Chain A
Amino acid sequence: MFKDLDPILHSQLRLAVVSLLIGVKEAEFTFLKEKTNSTAGNLSVQIQKLKDAGYIDVVKQFKNNYPQTICKITPQGISAFEEYVKNLQAYLGQSK
């Protein structure tokens, strides 16, 4: 089922992360964790997968002596998300 849907995005947490990032310029890891209600470990793994796919950029830096991870969607990520939504709509159209 859903063989045309991008497997990177067709996962609840990864889709949630990309959906959050699509409307903003950049977001901190803690923001993504809070909004997706996920654990730090699981979120780190999914963010790494999105990064490996080239869908997001991850910058690690220090803010007030604390480590800070900033995530930002890439143009490739935006295209993939748009394609994913288009395919979802096609599936919904078929099922009607």
Chain B
Amino acid sequence: MNDDNFSVQDSFRVIQSMIDKAKEDFADNAFFSLLWGWLVFFAALGQYILREIIHYPHHYLVWLLMIPGGIISIIYGYKFGRRTKVKTYMNEAMSFFGIACGVSFSILSLVFSYSNAWHFAFPVYLALYGLCSFVSGAILRLQLLRWAAVICWAIAIISIYVGYDVQLLLMAASAVTAFIVPGYVMRAKKRKQLA
């Protein structure tokens, strides 16, 4: 097609096809969702098993899994940033929001470590989980994440009234709701987009 017989319909086709092509390069946000979902799931469930079934005194050490998680996230984010040929506002918003969530969770971990108020740690983490999920859902326009946030907030309220052992199981359940299920949905959506 040359520009002499470039029609109005052709213009619309070009605009539509290019906007669709730009969408293909959105970051694989599912990676972070699945990484943190599975890490929190295994850590919470692991601590429950070590504490309640095996009665291991240093059951809390499973949460050290979060350190390699943080390192993997930084490396993946850095590599994706170098590899990507396009910067979208959505990717930029997600990466800044991811950093803000990571910093907030790290500071809260320090606060709870020093204050030894572990009974209140999970309700606060769950509320923050809900916040991360809700805002991510708004940025990625994924309604499922916003519903997952509502579930997290409900679990956060429930967890105030239950023992630490049940809180661990609720934490594992919220990891499935807020990160693992939406992560697989996002991955399936991206694969469908690329097909």
Contact = CB atoms under 8 A, between A and B. Distances in A.
**B partners with A:** yes
Contacts of A36: 18
A15 B86 contact: no
Interface in B1-60: 1-3, 6, 8, 10-12, 14-15, 17-19, 21-23, 25
Interface size class of B (residues with CB under 8 A): 20 to 34
A83 to B, nearest CB: 13
B89 interface: yes
B92 A31 contact: no
A15 B85 contact: no
Interface size class of A (residues with CB under 8 A): 20 to 34
Contacts, number: 69
Interface of B: 1-3, 6, 8, 10-12, 14-15, 17-19, 21-23, 25, 85-89, 92
Closest 3 pairs between A and B when the two form their complex, measured CB to CB = A19-B18, A31-B85, A28-B85
Interface of A: 2, 5, 10-12, 15-16, 19-20, 22-28, 30-31, 34-36, 84-85, 88, 91-92, 95
Given A84-B11, A91-B8, 5 more contacts: A10-B11, A12-B1, A12-B10, A23-B88, A31-B25
